[in-house]
């Protein structure tokens, strides 16, 4: 029983790393624009199907599809930004409706191009098992977790040390004050959407390499990414990783100790529990009132 729980914890950590990779882009846009991009999961799904096409039609490792997925997904992310930026009133609510519609459009585009069948990688190298002590995993899961940690560190450095990264943080803190300091909000928001597109491209390829994909999972990925973003607290990159791991471990233990039918329920209960105890998220900071 101890070995079974240890295996569940290990699997939950790896799955949490994959969740964090999906949530990074949504967390960045939400922190910069206070816009919940409900099409983010579909952007991840688009990248996953590009990786599938690379593997089946060109016969190459799907991980090498990342450079091809980035311009396509970033173009879709840029189109989403253009439409959202045109909203003049009730931006938060109207952007939800708009991006939800964009998500439906992308899902149907995937259905038309690739069909509704479940797809998974045929790469023997990615599907090989790796033993670490008494726990077992696939090489693709370890690769996905490694990509997640590397990109999380790169995003943290970009937000802390680059000019546009600091501009994103400034707009997130106070949009009007940032404009007075010479920051162009529209350009900065476009950059945040494009960076989110790059992150979604990597997340989609990693997701295809480590699990099965189908058009209906885009919406589920968006929901999980939103849960993780709220758990983390707005603007917290380490919180995204911790929140994703907590979600992954909660789901893995629920499947092992109870039933796979309760997996989604366990995630929602964790979400509600954290919000009840820490309303601003794991690393969120309460807003000051002047």
> Which of 211, 148, 136, 142 lies closest to 17, judged by CA?
148
Find the CATH number of the domain harbouring 47.
Answer: 1.10.3470
Is residue 285 included in any domain, yes or no? Answer: no
pLDDT one-digit tens code per residue, 25-48: 888 888 767 778 899 999 999 999
Pairwise pLDDT comparison (259 vs 114), residue with the higher score: 114
On the question of pLDDT at 155 being above 60, the answer is yes
- Rounded to an integer, the average pLDDT of 70-80 is 94
Is residue 289 included in any domain, yes or no? Answer: no
The pTM assigned to this predicted structure is 0.89
Helices (H) and strands (E) in the chain — how many of each?
12, 2
Q: Percent of the chain scored above 90 by pLDDT?
A: 28
On the question of pLDDT at 236 being above 80, the answer is no
pLDDT for position 137: 80
- Rounded to an integer, the average pLDDT of 222-235 is 82
Is residue 59 included in any domain, yes or no? Answer: yes
Q: Are strands 135-138 and 129-132 parallel, antiparallel or unpaired?
A: antiparallel
Is residue 91 included in any domain, yes or no? Answer: yes
pLDDT one-digit tens code per residue, 271-287: 888 888 887 777 765 54
Q: What is the tally of structural domains in the chain?
A: 1
pLDDT for position 1: 67
- Rounded to an integer, the average pLDDT of 98-109 is 93
pLDDT for position 287: 47
Is residue 37 included in any domain, yes or no? Answer: yes
pLDDT band at 289 (very low <50, low <70, confident <90, very high): very low
3-class state of residue 233 by DSSP: coil
Mapping DSSP onto H, E and C, the string for 105-158 reads HHHHHHHHHHCCCCECCCCHHHHCEEEECCEEEEHHHHHHHHHHHHHHHHHHHH
pLDDT for position 261: 82
What is the secondary structure of 159-223 as a DSSP string? HHHSHHHHHHHHHHH-HHHHHHTT--HHHHHHHHHHHHHHHHHHHHHHHHHHS-B-TTHHHHHHH
pLDDT for position 257: 85
pLDDT for position 198: 94
The mean pLDDT of the chain is 86
Q: Which of 31-35, 93-97, 116-120 has the lowest mean pLDDT?
A: 31-35
Cα gap 217→207, rounded to integer Å: 11
pLDDT for position 161: 87
Is residue 104 included in any domain, yes or no? Answer: yes
Is residue 203 included in any domain, yes or no? Answer: yes
pLDDT one-digit tens code per residue, 167-178: 888 887 777 788
Cα gap 194→25, rounded to integer Å: 9
> Which of 126, 150, 146, 148 lies closest to 138, judged by CA?
126
Q: Give the residue numbers spanning the domain of 12.
A: 2-117+126-277
Alpha carbon separation from 168 to 32, 67, 178 (Å, rounded)? 5, 25, 9
Q: Tell me, rounded to whole angstroms, the distance of Cα 169 from its chain centroid.
A: 19
pLDDT for position 6: 85
pLDDT for position 286: 52
Is residue 207 included in any domain, yes or no? Answer: yes
pLDDT for position 72: 95
């Amino acid at each position: 029983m101890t070995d079974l729980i240890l295996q569940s914890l290990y699997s939950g950590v790896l799955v949490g790393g994959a969740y964090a990779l999906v949530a990074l882009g949504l967390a960045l846009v939400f922190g910069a624009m206070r816009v919940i991009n409900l099409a983010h999961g579909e952007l991840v799904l688009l990248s996953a199907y590009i990786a599938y096409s690379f593997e089946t039609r060109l016969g190459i490792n799907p991980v090498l599809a990342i450079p091809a997925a980035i311009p396509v997904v970033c173009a879709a992310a840029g189109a989403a930004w253009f439409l959202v930026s045109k909203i003049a009133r009730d931006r938060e609510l109207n952007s939800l409706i708009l991006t939800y519609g964009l998500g439906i459009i992308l899902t149907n585009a995937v259905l038309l191009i690739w069909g509704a069948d479940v797809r998974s990688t045929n790469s023997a190298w990615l599907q090989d098992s790796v033993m670490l002590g008494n726990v077992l995993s696939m090489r693709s899961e370890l690769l996905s977790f490694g990509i997640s940690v590397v990109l999380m560190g790169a995003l943290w450095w970009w937000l802390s040390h680059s000019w546009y990264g600091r501009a994103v943080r400034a707009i997130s803190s106070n949009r009007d004050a940032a404009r007075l300091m010479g920051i162009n909000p529209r350009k900065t928001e476009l950059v945040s959407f494009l960076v989110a597109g790059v992150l979604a491209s990597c997340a989609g390829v990693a997701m295809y390499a480590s699990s099965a994909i189908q058009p209906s999972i885009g919406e589920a990925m968006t929901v999980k990414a939103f849960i993780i973003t709220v758990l983390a607290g707005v603007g917290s990159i380490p919180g995204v990783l911790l929140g994703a791991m907590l979600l992954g471990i909660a789901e893995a233990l629920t499947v092992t100790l109870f039933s796979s039918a309760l997996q989604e329920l366990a995630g929602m209960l964790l979400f509600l529990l954290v919000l009840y105890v820490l309303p601003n998220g794991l690393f969120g900071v309460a807003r000051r009132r002047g």
